[in-house]
């Protein structure tokens, strides 16, 4: 789970993730990407870094400041026409779908695009409600 929420941080984390998997950037198959970006961040720049490197992408939103997943999916489609793109309206749905998909495909899950997305994904994955989180 990458908590970077600027293009530079997202890029650095993605390169590190690829290296941990003995791959390099660009790659078209680093696993299952779960992504969503805060509405106040540089959505297009962040997604331009992430999306070309994954063939399966789950677009969702954090409850806290998350951009609409349909808008995220639209940016993703522009950058990676070959990817399988799934839109999940809630983080809970995204966790369930990404875990099921990763198990079926035998792939890792990479969650990236925003701080709140990463925190809420982890909270949900651990069996807790992301709605209970209190951000500053």
pLDDT tens profile 82-133: 999 999 999 999 999 999 999 999 999 999 998 899 999 999 999 999 988 8
Indicate the pTM of the whole model.
0.93
Cα–Cα distance for residue pair 58/60, rounded to 1 Å:
6
Asked whether the predicted pLDDT for residue 136 surpasses 60, the reply is: no
Cα–Cα distance for residue pair 111/96, rounded to 1 Å:
13
pLDDT tens profile 7-21: 999 999 999 999 999
Whether 122 contacts 110, CB under 8 Å: no
The set of residues, in sequence order, having a beta carbon less than 8 Å from that of 46 and lying 6+ positions away, is 5, 6, 7, 10, 37, 113, 114
pLDDT band at 1; cut points 50, 70, 90:
low
Determine the average pLDDT of the residues in 40-49.
94
Domains assigned to the chain = 7-132 (3.90.190.20)
């Amino acid at each position: 789970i990458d908590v970077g929420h600027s293009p530079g941080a997202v890029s650095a984390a993605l390169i590190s993730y690829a290296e941990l998997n003995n791959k390099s950037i660009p790659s078209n198959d680093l696993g299952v990407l779960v992504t969503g970006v805060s509405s106040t961040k540089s959505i297009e720049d962040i997604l331009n870094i992430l999306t070309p490197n994954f063939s399966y992408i789950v677009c969702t939103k954090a409850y806290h400041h998350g951009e609409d997943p349909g808008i995220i999916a639209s940016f993703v489609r522009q950058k990676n026409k070959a990817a399988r793109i799934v839109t999940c309206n809630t983080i809970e749905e995204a966790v369930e779908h990404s875990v099921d998909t990763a198990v079926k495909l035998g792939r890792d899950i990479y969650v990236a695009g925003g701080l709140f997305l990463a925190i809420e994904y982890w909270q949900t994955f651990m069996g807790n409600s992301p709605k209970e989180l209190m951000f500053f």
